[in-house]
Amino acid sequence: MAKKVFSRPKSLKEVINHYCPGCGHSIAHRLIAEVIDELDIRGITIGVPPAGCAVLAYFYIDVDMLEAQHGRGPATATGIKRALPDRVVFSYQGDGDLAAIGMAESFHAANRGENITVFFMNNAVYGMTGGQMAPTTMVDQKTTTTLAGRNRITEGYPVKVCELFSSLKGTTYIERCTVNSPANVNKTKKAIKKAFQCQMDGLGFSLVEILSPCPTNWKMSPIDSCKWIDEVMSKEFPLGVFKDETGAAKKREEAAS
Amino acid sequence: MNKVLMSGNNIIGEAAIRAGCVFYAGYPITPQNELTEYMAEHMRNAPGGVFVQSESEVAAIHMIIGASAAGARVMTSSSSPGISLKQEGISSMAACELPGVIVNIMRGGPGLGNISPAQGDYFQATRGGGHGDYRTIVYGPATCQELADLTMHAFDQADKYRTPVMILADGMMGQMMEPVVFKKPKPREYSEKFMLRGAGTGKSRFIRGLILNVIEEEEHNWKLARKYQTIIDHERMHEEYKTEDAQLVIVSYGTSARIVKGAIKRLRDSGMKVGLFRPITLWPFPEPELRTLAKKVKNFLVFEMSTGQMLDDVRLALQGFADIGFHGRPGGVVPTPAELANVITRHYKTEILPKSEHLGLE
């Protein structure tokens, strides 16, 4: 009898998504769905999709979902988690959503150490609105609102969310990954699993930043987009674990109980 | 039941907790800080109670959205500038049909204005306030007892219609102390099918405000409109005071209406036939009731602590069937009953008496 080695995760709905060819969102969705299956938490997970390209995530990921207003995901997720502490709650956000209009909500949810998980899709542009400058746009990167490239004098510098949030005492697990190669996809899945596990163990705020290709707005082929992440984006946004206090938090938890 | 002496802001907090509010998020702003502080102190003792001091007004409203979707009874409170910030979330609650209570202890505006009692947020409260085609049920309490009763009622109404409900009071109502009796709250009636609590082994669900298909969004708008019409038809509340023989009726709400009552006592002592029509629901406005009153009363005077906002609703209700005067004190000024009595006397002498003499009514 043939052994089944690959199938659609149960927590991913069987529909055609609206993402552009080469986009990182669909990979991230699939990874989240795979991890939800593996941890067997579909029935207790509540997701909070953002305003942005992933606004329709509730059509794709098969868990209960409450759509947030632009940038307010971590506040909305705080409300859900505080009301239902035994559920697994995640917010899924883009760079404009998390690091511009919703910086206050994400920063303070992290600082309070809310026991939620944030998936942060960084593609260095506002994707859904057509490729305007994002808080994470590279210096000199051309966008529809920085035609000559982002000018550091007038537009400042890319916001480094992992570096910033890992400095907050309230956070427990912070990692930056990417989905531009099979190896990196596997690493991202591990990070997603670790983040969910951190929450399920009651250890506090977890965030996984995913550098995500946006061929449409970068005006590159999918392959060139993946290369650009290696050659440019990950130089500005180095990959890796920025903070992992799950071990220490677990010890504290055990000592307290 | 025990009668206790409490300040308005504390009464709202106590009534909310007794009504089963288990999630409160708020941000400090004068003149409603006592309410946030009351919730901080007492919510922790309520079974399952959660208090969050949010980083902003915006975060507070979105926190209660999350908790409301999760099935909790929720409340947030603020004062005028803070309510402006919350409008994004209030619009979202209306769109997503999520229940919740929002308290506005109004202060002088526009802008930062000041921290004195005012009624300049009537338009913002009754016209929706945020973007899009929606309405918010709005209560305008005028006594501390009403603060307690209407706060409890607001939670029931929010659940019944799955919509945000606003308590529109002002700094005076928030700060004043009066004896109050907390009535027994009704048991909560809110179906689990509206709550997001994880799909379990069943089908997953979602709550969203984004509806890209215009025909679906149109139908959603009409669905909300039908709900608002039901509220208009069934939930109007008002009080009439000495209107039986009145030749002049003052239309006023909240703190203003208290001042009017004080003025009317003086005016009646001087033989002037003046009454009060006080809307308790500001939306839905008690339009038919006011219109009915206009069958026998032909002179109305609107008094508000604003430059004239409820005045528009009075005009819409009376539709030219009676004369409407206006007196306003915006910017945080609270006139005394004696001062208002003088204003009403002048109006009575110039508008009512000459006509009464002409008709041989004197």
pLDDT tens, residue by residue, B339-360: 999 999 999 999 888 876 655 4
Neighbours of A132 (CB within 10 A): 15
Taking the C-alpha atoms of residue A1 and residue B261, their distance in angstroms, rounded to an integer, is 88
CB–CB of B62 and A108 under 8 A? no
CA dihedral B308, B312, B317, B318 (to 10 degrees): 70
Q: List Cβ neighbours of A188 (8 Å cut-off, separation of 6 or more).
A: A27, A28, A31, A177, A178, A179, A208, A210
The strand pair at B274-279 and B238-241 is best described as: antiparallel
- Closest approach of chain B CAs to the CA of A31, in angstroms? 18
pLDDT of A2 higher than 90: no
Among A64, A90, A111, A114, which would you mutate to test the B interface (most chain B Cβ atoms within 10 Å of its Cβ)? A64
Nearest to B251 by CA among B320, B352, B327: B327
| pLDDT of B226 | 98
Per-residue pLDDT at B56: 98
Nearest residue, CB atoms, B201 vs list A43, A75, A84: A43
Residue in chain B nearest A63 by alpha carbon: B204
pLDDT surpasses 80 at A122: yes
- Is a pLDDT exceeding 50 seen at residue A85? yes
Q: According to the model, what pLDDT value does residue A60 have?
A: 97
CATH of region A25-256: 3.40.50.970
Which of B23, B74, B198 has its CB closest to that of A64? B198
To the nearest whole Å, the CA of A176 is away from the closest chain B CA by 26
Residues of A in contact with B88 (CB under 8 A): 69, 72
Give the gap in angstroms from C-alpha A18 to the nearest C-alpha of chain B.
13
Strand intervals (E) in chain B: 3-7, 23-26, 50-53, 74-78, 100-106, 137-139, 164-170, 177-181, 206-207, 238-241, 248-251, 274-279, 281-283, 299-304, 323-328
Which residues, numbered 30 to 69 in chain A, qualify as contacts with chain B under a Cβ-Cβ cut-off of 8 Å? 42-46, 48, 51, 55-56, 58, 62-69
Q: Given this model, what pLDDT does residue B358 score?
A: 56
Residue B272 pLDDT greater than 80, yes or no: yes
Chain B interface, mutation test: which of A39, A46, A128, most B Cβ atoms within 10 Å? A46
Q: Do A83 and B62 touch (CB under 8 A)?
A: no
Residue in B279, B271, B275, B324 with CA at minimum distance from that of residue B302: B324
Q: How far is B199 from chain A (nearest CA, A)?
A: 5
* Cβ(B274)–Cβ(B344) below 8 Å: yes
**What is the per-residue DSSP string for B148-171?**
HHHHHHHHHHHHHHTSEEEEEEEH
Residues B200-224 pLDDT 10s: 999 999 999 999 999 999 999 999 9
| pLDDT of B361 above 60 | no
Chain A, nearest residue to B70 by Cα: A80
Cα–Cα distances in Å, from B203 out to A104, B200, B246?
A: 34, 8, 61
- The pLDDT mean for chain B works out to 96
Domains within chain B, CATH numbers bracketed: 3-234 (3.40.50.970), 240-358 (3.40.50.920)
Angle between helices A103-112 and A73-83 (to 10 degrees): 40
Domain boundaries of chain A, sorted by first residue? 25-256
pLDDT in tens, A3-56: 888 899 999 999 999 999 999 999 999 999 999 999 999 999 999 999 999 999
Percent of all residues in chain B with a pLDDT value above 90, rounded to a whole number: 95
Kindly state the average pLDDT of the residues A91-118: 98
Sheet with B206-207: strands ordered across: A240-244, A171-178, A205-211, A117-122, A88-94, A45-48, A64-66, B206-207
Cross-chain Cβ contact A79/B58 below 8 Å: no
pLDDT in tens, B26-55: 999 999 999 999 999 999 899 999 999 999
Interface confidence: ipTM more than 0.90: yes
Task: Report the residue of chain A nearest B63, measured CA to CA.
Answer: A79
Q: Are B97 and B163 in contact (CB under 8 A)?
A: yes
Task: Tell me if A189 sits within 8 A of A177, measured CB to CB.
Answer: no
Residues of chain B with Cβ-Cβ distance to A62 below 8 Å are 199, 204
Question: CB B67 to CB A82 under 8 A?
Answer: yes
Residue B244, pLDDT > 70, answer yes
- Give pLDDT, residue A252: 84
Q: Among A55, A64, A78, whose Cβ lies nearest the Cβ of B66?
A: A78
For residue range A160-197, what is the model confidence (pLDDT) as tens digits? 999 999 999 999 999 999 999 999 999 999 999 999 99
Query: Pick from A51, A80, A108: which is nearest to B69 by CB?
Result: A80
* For range B313-322, the mean pLDDT: 96
**Distance from B111 to chain A by nearest Cα, in Å?**
22
pLDDT of residue B362: 44
Q: Average of pLDDT values for A138-148?
A: 98
- CB of A200 within 8 Å of a chain B CB? The answer is no
Residue A132 bridge partners (DSSP) = A126
Q: Which of B117, B193, B101, B106 is nearest to B150 (CA)?
A: B101
Percent helix, strand and coil across chain B, each rounded to 5?
Answer: 45, 20, 35
> Residue A83 is nearest to which of B50, B205, B208, comparing CB atoms?
B50
Q: Which residues of A touch B216 (CB under 8 A)?
A: none
A20: buried, middle or exposed (CB in 10 Å: 19+, 13-18, 0-12)? middle
Say whether residue A179 is in contact with chain B using an 8 A CB cutoff: no
- How many whole angstroms separate alpha carbon A185 and alpha carbon B6? 60
Let me know: does B195 contact B22? Beta carbons within 8 Å. no
The answer to whether the CB atoms of A64 and B197 lie below 8 A apart is yes
Is the confidence at residue A1, as pLDDT, over 90?
no
CB contact under 8 A, B198 and A58: no
Q: How many CB pairs under 8 A join A and B?
A: 132
pLDDT at B326 (0 to 100) = 98
Measure CB to CB from residue A79 to each of B70, B92, B204 and give the nearest one. Answer: B70
| Distance of alpha carbon A120 from alpha carbon B106, whole angstroms | 38
The answer, for A72 touching chain B at a CB cutoff of 8 Å, is yes
Q: Which of A1-10, A64-73, B333-342 bottoms out in mean pLDDT, i.e. has the lowest? A: A1-10
